[in-house]
Chain A
Amino acid sequence: MDQALYYETLNNCRFCVMCRHVCPAGNATGREAAAPRGLALNIYAAERGLLAAGSEPHKNLIDNCTLCGACYESCVTQQNLPDVILAAREKAVAAGGACAEAVAVKNNIVTHGNPFGADVLSARFAGGRVTQTASVVFFPGCTALYKEHDVVASALKILDMAEADYTMLRGMDCCAAPLKELGFREEFSAHAEKLTKKIAGTGAKAVVTVCPTCAFWMNAALRETGKNDDVDVVNFTDYLAGLMKENGKITVKNHQERKIRVQSPCRMARSLGRFDPTVNLLRHIPGMAIDMFNAENLVDKTLRVPESLCCGGCGGTRFVDAAMADTIASYQIEHIRQNVVEFDTLVTTCSTCKDQLGRAAKGKDIEVLHIAELIAPMMRKSRA
């Protein structure tokens, strides 16, 4: 990040309280340190030597911010504090101040190829196809592969039924977003290089993922290496919409009695600028009735808050402070329940949101489904 802009943004945010009410971390915890002003103030204080030894600025920046971008979206003067926080994490890492928890995640990705430290999995994933070349790479991402098997299975079912020409990548489970988001810039670049080569080796011109974080950071990685400018990483919802429209081999019809509410993941909405592709997709399914967002009847429009709700899973926070991430997820489930019309199914296009919100919603009469899980049972082969 340009240093002049970094300090300009920091100076604008360190004493400003205009966006605290939209910050998921700040709202969920009520802690000032987990709200945009507190974060900016602490970055500033650390740089000016105002924090005592042992204050762990790197850990603080990860624990307290998911980089969801709600502050940026709501800011009238568009102060990009998430970019500043990311740059500050990179600075802390470069200065040797990475916190132990983040270093452990980095080591897991470097050593095992995933942030969980589990054995490499994707090549052995049941039902997944690995071919030499294909027109599309299906890249589930680490959360889906290791924690949300039903999401992967559903996505594979759809791809198979549509007779998509896809392959998975052998031995490459993670997009390395945690490296980037935790501030390990060099390691992210090295991983990006490897990932780019793997994708290039397939000849594919598109990568499909069930995780918008993967889509966002893989696109960034591809552009960073400059070697795969013609390859596009797309989210599963967009790919699925294309299949339903153009593939001709599948039909989708809803037979289920569900009251659906769509969650708009922050990486999809804000990072990728795609606010409602899931809603648009569902609207075109026969028999489907959904209520996307509660049409708020506010006394004036200045009271509106961003509609995209963070699940707590982004920004590396869940790897360093899982309790904090879960607190945000629980808060959001309660927030959604209190603020929208009645629903029983929350649909997301993000595997991480599915994981986070799914756990938070347990025992609350809400089922959280990834779009692939919702659509797969509705899909049939088209008649020739």
Chain B
Amino acid sequence: MFNSYVYDMLYARLREIVGAGNITDKQADRMSYATDVSWVANMWLDRAKQPSMPDVIVRPDSAEQISDIVKIATEYRVPVIPVAGGSGTQGGWLAISGGIMIDLKRMNRIIDIDEKSQVATVEAGALLVNFERALNKLELSFPHYPASMYSASVGGCIAARGSGVMSTKYGKIEDLVLGLDVVLPTGNIFKSIPVPRHATGPETTQLFIGSEGTLGVITKARVKIIQKPTERSFRCLLFDNLESGMDAGRQIMLAGLRPAVIRLYDDPSTKSFVNRVLGMKLEGNVIILGFEGRRGDMLEIEKKESLKICQSLGAKDLGEEPGQHWWDHRYDFYYPPLTPHLPTAFGTMDSVTTYRDILPLYYHMKEEIESKYATWNVRFTGHFSHWFAWGAMVYARFFIDEPPVDAQEAGRLYYDVWSTGVNAALKHGGVVNEHHGIGLKLGPFMRRQYGCGFEVLEGIKKQLDPNNIMNPGKLGFQL
């Protein structure tokens, strides 16, 4: 970092704040924070390259401790990287310039449950799985179920502006957050105004949702919770073309129906993924619909109307069991070696746009990637799994089974593929990312997305963090 004694003083001062048991700069600890689940970071280690590591890891217990930590970091001009779950795919938690990593997992308390309003206040380091288990015991639920359920933290989901598999009914994380406490780079603690719907100036809570630790450290969130669903039902259908499946989803959403789950798979996904999960031999476009709530009669109506729309567009009904099987086993395919793994290069190019543009976006992205990287035998799959009243999200994935052996060459090819995918998304009114965030990986594309308008975000960053200590080099901000 710098002069040894200066570092020792920094370490000792941090230790004064968090206590000796909550600070470490041991090799084993630093190595454990050297990677999230981003492909490039994993590949780098896989090729036995020395990774970027934090210099020191602290585990504070309160926003006040974090405030003291960032004040010291400012004095020393040392980067601060807030982390918790480590399930990010975009390299958001990588300590690319070393620095102080703040692990928030000790801050995992549920502060308050307002059952009358169905609002919970929870600390940022609580893992989603534990938060949900605790709520379930009270017949409540936080309906945010990402694939990273077991490892992601509440704060991490908010910082990455994430989404869950039931977002179609309950919304993305930004729809579930009512307020935040954020330790700003100055050490001051920002607290949202009590409710998110108001005319008390711009909605500042939303500014921090998706800020990925670049504007401050999220320490606490007030979130919307629901009464635990007592009824849940699935249905699986098969379309013979993607257009019909997409139109079915669109009509369901525009009719005001709100299934919790709509997952429409392209033909390659049906063949490579769905068939593997369900043990079937299907061709075409599988759609899984899921409905839930506490009123069976309402659920039945929603299901009946949704099925009617699907069948009017030629869908073949495969029954309830395949959908239920998907639900019960939806995490199975994130366990290695079932999940994509090295040496295969892979990435998820999730984007979102309106119903008019979503299929052109998908086809264009597919064509661009398959043609440009044909020599690498690239594979491209996609499904559509977050639906809105105006459009849908495409979860496009690419796979290159034999990327370059050389780590740097592999990293450069990886960037090229992403650049191609992002360009295709932007050309059709899509976004750089829909729910995984930007992190390190997609930072260079932020200017393509915003153009000169990126100065809005840059200006906010410079104002809040003039010394650029907060997770530098992420979200397209300077290193």
Q: Do B137 and A297 touch across chains, with their CB atoms under 8 A apart?
A: yes
- The answer to whether B200 has its CB under 8 Å from any CB of chain A is no
Q: For residues 322 through 351 of chain B, which have their beta carbon under 8 Å from a beta carbon of chain A?
A: 327-328, 330-332, 334-338, 341-342
- The answer to whether B204 has its CB under 8 Å from any CB of chain A is no
Q: How close is A320's CB to chain B, nearest CB, in angstroms? A: 14
- The answer to whether A38 has its CB under 8 Å from any CB of chain B is yes
- The answer to whether A33 has its CB under 8 Å from any CB of chain B is yes
Q: Do B105 and A77 touch across chains, with their CB atoms under 8 A apart?
A: no
Q: How close is A124's CB to chain B, nearest CB, in angstroms? A: 40
Once A17-B150, A30-B105 are accepted as A-B contacts, the answer to whether A51 and B32 lie under 8 Å apart by CB is no
Q: Do A12 and B341 touch across chains, with their CB atoms under 8 A apart?
A: yes
Partner of B136, one of A33, A35, A48, A296: A296
Residue of A nearest to B59 (CB): A30
Once A41-B45, A50-B51 are accepted as A-B contacts, the answer to whether A303 and B132 lie under 8 Å apart by CB is yes
Interface stretch, picked from B23-31, B235-243, B301-309, is B23-31
- The answer to whether A20 has its CB under 8 Å from any CB of chain B is yes
Residue of A nearest to B125 (CB): A30
Q: A75 — which chain B residues lie within 8 A by C-beta?
A: 335
Residue of B nearest to A57 (CB): B28
Q: B24 — which chain A residues lie within 8 A by C-beta?
A: 31
Q: How close is A166's CB to chain B, nearest CB, in angstroms? A: 44
- The answer to whether B229 has its CB under 8 Å from any CB of chain A is yes
Q: Do A77 and B28 touch across chains, with their CB atoms under 8 A apart?
A: no
Q: Do B335 and A76 touch across chains, with their CB atoms under 8 A apart?
A: yes
Once A18-B150, A31-B24 are accepted as A-B contacts, the answer to whether A302 and B328 lie under 8 Å apart by CB is yes
Q: A157 — which chain B residues lie within 8 A by C-beta?
A: none
How does the 8 Å CB contact mask read for A1-42 relative to B, with 1 for contact and 0 for none? 000000000011111111111000000001111010110011
Residue of B nearest to A78 (CB): B335
Q: How close is A153's CB to chain B, nearest CB, in angstroms? A: 37
Once bound together, how far apart are the Cα atoms of A54 and B26, in whole Å? 9
Q: How close is A354's CB to chain B, nearest CB, in angstroms? A: 26
Q: B335 — which chain A residues lie within 8 A by C-beta?
A: 16, 18, 75-77, 79
Q: How close is A3's CB to chain B, nearest CB, in angstroms? A: 17
How does the 8 Å CB contact mask read for B88-132 relative to A, with 1 for contact and 0 for none? 000000000000000101100000000000000000010101101
Q: Do A51 and B31 touch across chains, with their CB atoms under 8 A apart?
A: yes
Q: How close is B365's CB to chain A, nearest CB, in angstroms? A: 26
Once A21-B150, A76-B332, A302-B331 are accepted as A-B contacts, the answer to whether A55 and B27 lie under 8 Å apart by CB is yes
Once A13-B336, A21-B130 are accepted as A-B contacts, the answer to whether A50 and B50 lie under 8 Å apart by CB is yes
Once bound together, how far apart are the Cα atoms of A298 and B35, in whole Å? 32
Once bound together, how far apart are the Cα atoms of A19 and B103, in whole Å? 18
Partner of A300, one of B59, B327, B332, B338: B327
Partner of B151, one of A17, A52, A64: A17
Q: Classify the secondary structure of B's interface with A.
A: loop
Q: How close is A324's CB to chain B, nearest CB, in angstroms? A: 10
The interface size of chain A toward B, counting residues with CB under 8 Å, comes to 47
- The answer to whether B37 has its CB under 8 Å from any CB of chain A is yes
- The answer to whether A363 has its CB under 8 Å from any CB of chain B is no
- The answer to whether A383 has its CB under 8 Å from any CB of chain B is no
Once bound together, how far apart are the Cα atoms of A127 and B37, in whole Å? 58
Q: Do A55 and B28 touch across chains, with their CB atoms under 8 A apart?
A: yes
Once bound together, how far apart are the Cα atoms of A301 and B132, in whole Å? 12
Q: Do A31 and B48 touch across chains, with their CB atoms under 8 A apart?
A: no
Q: How close is B335's CB to chain A, nearest CB, in angstroms? A: 4
Interface Cβ pair total, 8 Å cutoff: 133
Once A33-B28, A296-B137, A302-B330 are accepted as A-B contacts, the answer to whether A17 and B87 lie under 8 Å apart by CB is yes
Partner of A77, one of B33, B139, B338: B338
Once A20-B151, A51-B31, A60-B28 are accepted as A-B contacts, the answer to whether A298 and B136 lie under 8 Å apart by CB is yes
Partner of A50, one of B45, B330, B332: B45
Q: A384 — which chain B residues lie within 8 A by C-beta?
A: none
Q: Do B141 and A32 touch across chains, with their CB atoms under 8 A apart?
A: no
Once bound together, how far apart are the Cα atoms of A14 and B136, in whole Å? 31
Q: In the complex, which of the residues A33, A42, A60, A339 has the most CB atoms of chain B within 10 Å of its own CB atom?
A: A33
Residue of A nearest to B332 (CB): A76
Q: How close is B416's CB to chain A, nearest CB, in angstroms? A: 23
Q: How close is B169's CB to chain A, nearest CB, in angstroms? A: 14
- The answer to whether B213 has its CB under 8 Å from any CB of chain A is no
Q: Do A12 and B337 touch across chains, with their CB atoms under 8 A apart?
A: yes
Q: A12 — which chain B residues lie within 8 A by C-beta?
A: 336-337, 341
Once A21-B129, A50-B48 are accepted as A-B contacts, the answer to whether A77 and B336 lie under 8 Å apart by CB is yes
How does the 8 Å CB contact mask read for A286-328 relative to B, with 1 for contact and 0 for none? 0000000000111111110100000000000000000000000
Q: Do B51 and A32 touch across chains, with their CB atoms under 8 A apart?
A: no
Q: A64 — which chain B residues lie within 8 A by C-beta?
A: 28
Residue of B nearest to A9 (CB): B336
Once bound together, how far apart are the Cα atoms of A303 and B26, in whole Å? 33
Q: How close is B149's CB to chain A, nearest CB, in angstroms? A: 8
Q: For residues 130 through 150 of chain B, which have their beta carbon under 8 Å from a beta carbon of chain A?
A: 130, 132-133, 136-137, 139, 141, 148-150
Q: Do B29 and A32 touch across chains, with their CB atoms under 8 A apart?
A: yes
Q: For residues 170 through 186 of chain B, which have their beta carbon under 8 Å from a beta carbon of chain A?
A: none
Q: A60 — which chain B residues lie within 8 A by C-beta?
A: 26, 28
Once A32-B103, A49-B48, A298-B136 are accepted as A-B contacts, the answer to whether A17 and B31 lie under 8 Å apart by CB is no
- The answer to whether B228 has its CB under 8 Å from any CB of chain A is yes
Partner of A76, one of B32, B50, B338: B338
Q: Do B229 and A299 touch across chains, with their CB atoms under 8 A apart?
A: yes
Residue of B nearest to A55 (CB): B27
- The answer to whether A118 has its CB under 8 Å from any CB of chain B is no
Q: In the complex, which of the residues B26, B228, B331 has the most CB atoms of chain A within 10 Å of its own CB atom?
A: B26
- The answer to whether B85 has its CB under 8 Å from any CB of chain A is yes
- The answer to whether B210 has its CB under 8 Å from any CB of chain A is no
- With contacts A32-B33, A76-B331, A296-B137 known, what are 17 further pairs, Cβ within 8 A? A15-B42, A15-B341, A17-B85, A17-B87, A18-B331, A20-B150, A30-B59, A30-B103, A37-B32, A38-B32, A41-B45, A48-B48, A51-B31, A299-B141, A299-B228, A302-B330, A303-B136
Can you list 19 residue pairs at the A/B interface with Cβ under 8 Å? A12-B337, A15-B336, A15-B342, A16-B336, A18-B334, A20-B151, A21-B127, A21-B151, A30-B105, A32-B86, A33-B26, A37-B86, A51-B27, A76-B332, A298-B133, A299-B141, A299-B228, A302-B331, A303-B136
